[in-house]
Structure 1
Amino acid sequence: MAELNSLADLGTVAATPQPAAPVHVQKLDKQGRAYATGKRKDAIARVWVKPGSGKITVNDKEFGAYFARPVLQMILQQPIVATNRAGQFDVIATVSGGGLSGQAGAVRHGISKALTYYEPGLRPVLKKGGFLTRDSRVVERKKYGKAKARRSFQFSKR
Structure 2
Amino acid sequence: MQVFNATGRRKSAVARVYLKPGSGAVVINGKALEEYFPSELLQYVVRQPFQVLELAETFDVTVTLNGGGISGQAEAVRLGVSRALVEYNAELKPTLRAHGFMTRDSRTVERKKPGRPGARKRFQFSKR
More strand by share: 2
What TM-score do the two structures reach when normalised by structure 1?
0.79
Distance 2:26 2:91 in 1: 22
| Aligned length, in residue pairs | 128
Distance 1:137 1:67 in 2: 22
Residue segments in structure 1 that go unaligned for 5+ positions in a row: 1-30
Distance 1:89 1:104 in 2: 18
The equivalent residue for 2:54 is 84
Instruction: Provide the identity percentage.
Output: 52
What TM-score do the two structures reach when normalised by structure 2?
0.97
Distance 1:120 1:90 in 2: 19
Q: Which has the higher contact order (CA 8 A, sep 6+)?
A: 2
Alpha-carbon displacement from aligned partner over 1:11-58 (angstroms, at most 9, x marks no partner): xxxxxxxxxxxxxxxxxxxx5010100000000000001111000111
Task: State the structure with more CA Rg.
Answer: 1
Query: Offset at 1:124?
Result: 1.1
Query: Offset at 1:156?
Result: 2.2
Distance 1:127 1:57 in 2: 25
TM superposition outliers: structure 1 runs of 4+ over 6 Å: none
Q: Say what the alpha-carbon RMSD is for the aligned residues.
A: 0.9
The equivalent residue for 1:24 is none
The equivalent residue for 1:102 is 72
Residue segments in structure 2 that go unaligned for 5+ positions in a row: none
